[in-house]
Structure 1
């Protein structure tokens, strides 16, 4: 799968910039669980684009009339566990960075607002994964929101595609969180924090990067404490 290979190279190179280590330390073959996370994220991102993306068949204003962020959460993203949504968000970050690089490379030939090139942009709505997932908890709470409100235990139980990876359990301190999107910055997604097994996090120094970047974003604040829930 060429796209998956391209993503792996992009993520591992970005991780090496953070750890200051040789990127070859990250390049051990992916485990079956890591492959599953990556491949399903690619397919789910493609489906997301097909369902909600902007293209020459559907303009941005038409999309905004059809789907707002709450509807996208309810119709599509709410079907996945929050760490699985973050897998998709990592692919979006990769896609966005790749397209931005292409447009940067030809900036002398085209202007980024030139409508001639709209159909060649990534077919995703603007701010696609800057969603405030907390708005769903406020307006239409789900079972996942209830587990978050109770802080149900969710410790790391080993690497399995059905369970949260170590990175997720670390940032949420072993309890359930239904926050994604706006609450997690692209600095973490740039190296695919949610994709990798515990052994890779330990071996590459990514665990320390995760801790540093999360603390820089939220310090000692738990963003779940800022939510107000519907009665």
Structure 2
């Protein structure tokens, strides 16, 4: 009995087979099998890639993924381009037909998806490591449910969308004067979401600030030039004064991932040199202004942009903000709960924690949580900055360490005669 070879199949069958995959590498491998399959792929690339993309994407995160894909394909940024992307995104109409479906674009999205999967797992493990109602360590926490994972993933995609619209991607095209200001971002972006959805974005923001702190602090505590612009590094927790760390968030998740995976000072400094922190009011200020024109009662009833079958996130937000009457809902006092991703979880998990049964004022928060900042570290930072500033004034750049394990370089145009040392990582 003879079997038909793949190349001998009708074009329609080749295309149908290609559409069954859920990985870009598999599609490429099949297309390169022989000349016939390659020609079939070229003739139907858009249909094949679109189907493969849909096969691997959860329908409940699809809209946000497609919006990010749209921004990744944008080559020239302007104010009008941003407004048009936001209009398409918030219209609720399917974006599947507005995206250019090429295998190259699919590979870019798939690469970003892997980074987001890393962050989702890492954040979930960190957030669930402690019971927020008792602050006791949870050695064997239950894994995130399907909908808890969806909320986490969707929020990371939404963070990436915000980065692509207002972060470093647009700055490379030099259109800073045309970017939307804070008030415009509130109207065009933040206020389109329910308050708890913005708090979910705040959870991701605080988590990322914490994750970049180690590599960022390594550079900020040793680099001589950084002392001249007074970059602090001891405040490891996510509060308003992390302006320079906030600027790192503008890079987007791929570059943030690469940065937190660095191991040496030189690698970390290279990242900060290639993509210098900018726009210190990038996300924090937007979250501060989010939903601030609505009463708390109205916000509790506001419909979310993304439907959610569980009352948990909305109930958690209402509980955490029930005793506050100001017009800003991104509160420092809720930092500890954002660290625990409190608006990401199902009502069943919140009930098991018994968190919402406690009056808000009796629950732990950022004011009494064990934070990295202390008097001794503050003193060390001031001393480090003072010594590095003096070296900078004396005409030096490079690496400084209290243990005299230094590598100093004379600044161009300076007249210093001091000798530099050596440094090991």
**1:58-115 deviation per Cα after TM superposition (whole angstroms, max 9, x unaligned):** 67xx647623211111121122111111111111111111111222244554365589
Counterparts in 2 of 1:121 and 1:90: CA distance versus 1, 3 Å: farther
Cα offset for 1:202? 3.3
Counterpart CA distance in 1 for 2:201 and 2:278 is 14
CA distance 1:64–1:81, change in 2 (3 Å) = farther
Question: Which of the pair has the greater relative contact order for Cα pairs under 8 Å at 6+ separation?
Answer: 1
Matched, 1:69 2:182: yes
Q: Of residues 183, 186, 197 in structure 1, which corresponds to 2:346?
A: 197
CA distance in 2: counterparts of 1:6 and 1:209, whole angstroms: 30
Question: Separation in 2 of the partners of 1:186 and 1:121?
Answer: 26
Shift in CA distance, 86/107, structure 1 to aligned 2, threshold 3 Å: same
For residue 36 of structure 1, what is the aligned residue in structure 2? 150
- CA RMSD across the alignment: 4.0
Partner of 1:5: 121
Matched, 1:165 2:280: no
| Whole-angstrom CA distance in 2 between matches of 1:134 and 1:77 | 5
* Distance in 2 separating the partners of 1:117 and 1:209: 43
Counterpart among 223, 234, 244 of residue 110 in structure 1: 223
Contact persistence 1:89–1:181 (CA under 8 A):
yes
Q: 1:88/1:118 Cα in 2 relative to 1: closer, same or farther (>3 Å)?
A: farther
Moved more, 28-37 or 127-136: 127-136
**Structure label with greater radius of gyration:** 2
Pair 152,128 (structure 1): closer, same or farther in 2 beyond 3 Å? closer
- Distance in 2 (CA, whole Å) between partners of 1:72 and 1:39 is 22
C-alpha offsets along residues 197-218 of structure 1, whole Å, 9 cap, x if unaligned? 222223345445965246969x
**Cα separation, 2, equivalents of 1:37 and 1:103:** 28
**8 Å contact from structure 2 (residues 292, 328) kept in 1:** no
Q: Give unpaired runs (5+ residues) of structure 2.
A: 1-116, 232-268, 302-307, 369-425
**Structure 2 CA distance, aligned partners of 1:153 and 1:16?**
25
Task: Structure 1: state its 5+ residue gaps.
Answer: 138-144, 218-231
| C-alpha spacing 1:42/1:29, structure 2 compared with 1 (3 Å) | same
Deviations 1:160-196 (A, max 9, x none): 25874331232345xxx98533576423211111111
Partners of 1:169 and 1:135 in 2: CA distance = 14
Contact 1:4 1:39 in 2 (8 A): yes
Partner of 2:139: 24
In the other structure, the counterpart of 1:78 is: 191
- Matching residue within 137, 160, 166 for 1:46: 160
For the Cα contact (< 8 Å) 1:165–1:195, is it kept in 2?
no
Partners in 1 of 2:157 and 2:118 — Cα distance? 14
The TM-score, its normalising length taken from structure 2, stands at 0.39
Equivalent in the alignment of 1:133: 289
Provide the rounded CA distance (Å) in 1 between the counterparts of 2:118 and 2:290. Answer: 35
Distance in 1 of aligned mates of 2:279 and 2:144: 28
SS in 1 for 2:309: coil
